Amino acid sequence: MKTIERKTSWNLLDRFLSHWRAKFILPYLRRDSVVGDIGCGQKGKILLSISNRIKEGYGFDFNLKSEKHPEKNIFLSNKDFLKSKKKFDVILMLAVLEHLPSAQSTTKMLRGIHSKLNKHGNFIMTTPDKRARGLLEFLAYRLKIINEEEIRDHKHYFNRTELLILLKKAGFHNIRHRYFQLGLNNLIVCQK
């Protein structure tokens, strides 16, 4: 898979929206889970913020330096998630799917996630809905109040039906979907 590298500087609104997105995953995390976070960002902030709720956390992002926080059992890596030998109870992929370069890479990633989950493991993902595109582009390009580079890097916006089809093809079941952030984002929780 082609490496996706982004250098972004987030403003206050970007950070607020990210924090708001992260709050939606908390009810779906099982205590003492081994968690993988794909696209965890430069600091692995979500993993660090949930470290007291999980057994171990492994963050993967091409834009970070490999780093360990052994006191919190958090390990960050710039290696390709699909090449990891680790298995996970929960895998997170928050606001990443829209950045994958093609339908083929999206399918490969979702199948790879499925293969890296332990039996009955949960996959939790968020991605902007198709309805969000115009608003996100307006906020980024015209008002310049969210990161323009981040929005320009969006390759595809997904609606609920497309996401359900992709996840079923990748082998997931017990797929639960809900909208959040004023109906502009998709939250998916599903199982291996």
What ranges do the domains of the chain cover?
31-191
Whole-model pTM: value is 0.88
Return the H-helix or E-strand segment holding 3: none
3-state SS track over 53-101: CCCEEEEECCCCCCEEEHHHCEEEECCCHHHCCCCEEEEEEECCHHHCC
- pLDDT score of 12: 72
Tell me the CATH number for domain 31-191.
3.40.50.150
Alpha-carbon span 47 to 52, nearest angstrom: 9
- pLDDT score of 3: 40
- pLDDT score of 9: 61
Write b or e for each residue in 114-140: b if 16 or more Cβ atoms lie within 10 A of its Cβ, otherwise e. bebbeeebbbbbbbbbeebbeebeebb
Q: Per-residue confidence of the chain (192 residues) as pLDDT tens digits?
A: 334 444 456 667 667 766 776 777 888 888 889 999 999 987 888 898 889 889 999 999 988 888 888 888 999 998 889 898 999 999 999 999 999 999 999 999 999 999 999 999 999 999 999 999 999 999 999 999 888 998 999 999 999 999 999 999 999 999 999 998 888 899 999 999
